[in-house]
């Protein structure tokens, strides 16, 4: 059992079930993962886990804000453990997704916008380093 995952379940008032622990551990390991990736990873530790179970648990984990859904153009949504607001660099070629702290970038312009920025969460699309190299 992964203590960190078990603790966050408790903190969010959720029952600690083997399914939830498996799903959260899978996401933690990958950083960001879509439903298929979570399912594949979860099956390696829990072979009896069904895709329906993964779906059901992810829904309740999102409701309690333990998980966050990252909606991506032309791709299945990815899920990540909730952490402080951040943006994503998303590769249009390979679908690779990376966290980037964009908060400062925008709060610098706060005065000009006449708007108190509290959170910055953006999807930034482009071509990643790996894909650039392989061109
Ligand atoms: Zn790429
Ligand atoms: Zn992220």
What mean pLDDT is reported for the chain? 91
CA of 102 to the centre of ligand 2 (A): 12
CA of 43 to the centre of ligand 2 (A): 23
Number of neighbours of residue 20 by Cβ within 10 angstroms: 21
pLDDT given at position 1: 54
Tens of pLDDT along 48-68? 999 999 999 999 999 999 999
pLDDT given at position 29: 92
Q: Relative to the alpha carbon of 67, which ligand is closest?
A: 2
Supply the CATH number for residue 108's domain. 3.30.1490.190
Q: Which residues contact 97 (CB under 8 A, 6 or more apart)?
A: 32, 70, 72, 78, 88, 89, 90, 91
CA of 125 to the centre of ligand 1 (A): 10
As a whole number, mean pLDDT of residues 87-91 equals 95
Same domain, 50 and 91: no
User: Domain boundary residue among 40, 64, 81?
Assistant: 81
For residue 44, is pLDDT > 60?
yes
pLDDT given at position 120: 86
CA of 121 to the centre of ligand 2 (A): 9
Share of the chain above pLDDT 70, in %: 99
Number of neighbours of residue 89 by Cβ within 10 angstroms: 17
CA of 18 to the centre of ligand 1 (A): 34
User: Domain boundary residue among 81, 101, 119?
Assistant: 81
Report the SS3 class of residue 9.
Answer: helix
33 vs 1, residue with greater confidence: 33
Give residue 9's pLDDT band: very low, low, confident or very high (50, 70, 90).
Answer: very high
CA of 104 to the centre of ligand 1 (A): 25
- Please count the structural domains in the chain: 2
pLDDT given at position 23: 96
Q: Exposed/middle/buried for 130, CB within 10 Å: 0-12, 13-18, 19+?
A: exposed
């Amino acid at each position: 059992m992964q203590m960190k995952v078990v603790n966050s379940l408790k903190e969010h008032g959720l029952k600690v079930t083997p399914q939830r622990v498996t799903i959260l551990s899978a996401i933690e390991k990958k950083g960001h993962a879509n439903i298929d990736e979570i399912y594949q990873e979860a099956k390696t530790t829990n072979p009896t886990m069904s895709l329906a179970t993964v779906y059901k648990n992810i829904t309740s984990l999102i409701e309690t804000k333990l998980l966050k859904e990252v909606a991506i153009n032309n791709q299945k949504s990815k899920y990540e453990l909730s952490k402080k607001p951040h943006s994503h660099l998303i590769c249009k070629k390979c679908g690779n997704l990376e966290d980037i702290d964009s908060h400062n970038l925008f709060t610098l312009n706060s005065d000009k916008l006449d708007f108190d920025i509290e959170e910055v969460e953006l999807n930034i699309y482009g071509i990643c380093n790996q894909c650039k190299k392989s061109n």
